[in-house]
Amino acid sequence: MQAKRVKPNSTSTTLAFHARNREQQNTCVNVTVFESVHEPPASHLWPSAIVLARLVWHWRKRIKTAGTVIELGCGTGLPGLLVSKLQLGRHVVLTDQSQASLDLVRESIRRNGLKDVSTACLEWG
């Protein structure tokens, strides 16, 4: 399993998740996320999002649900986008309280060609 920045720039980052076992040597899933250096902190790709996405990738064979997966405080949406790409749920809802972040997430959804993902503004606290 590996996640690395393939094409970093100021607006988007593509992370590649690779299988490391012999039976799935050629398995690779790319996820592109949009981020902004000028928007709130939620609009940045945080190291914790990469760690959570790596956990999703590692446990992908055990994470199967017929229901909806909701990511709370998604920021750039990396873990939820990966869940959708791997088809680990019927539908994925990415939520955040920052409208700027959700605008970037919608662009990520479009860029990744995902159809079973929606966004929602969720304020807490």
| pLDDT tens-digit series, residues 93-113 | 999 998 988 999 999 999 999
Look at residue 121 and tell me whether its pLDDT is greater than 90. Answer: yes
Residue 26 scores a pLDDT above 60: yes
| 67-104 residues labelled b (16+ CB within 10 A) or e (exposed) | eebebeebbbbbbbbbbbbbebbeebbbbbebeebbeb
Q: Would you say residue 51 has pLDDT above 70?
A: yes
Q: Angle between the 47-58 and 78-85 helix axes, to the nearest 10 degrees? A: 20
DSSP 48-93: HHHHHHHHHHHTTTT---SSEEEETT-TT-HHHHHHHHTT-SSEEE
**Is residue 33 over pLDDT 70?**
yes
pLDDT band at 11 (very low <50, low <70, confident <90, very high): confident
Angstrom distance (rounded) from CA 36 to CA 54:
22
User: What pLDDT digit, counting tens, does each position of 12-21 carry?
Assistant: 889 899 876 6
Q: Reduced to 3 states, what is the DSSP secondary structure of residue 38? A: coil
What are the Cα distances from residue 117, in Å, to 2, 24, 53? Answer: 24, 26, 16
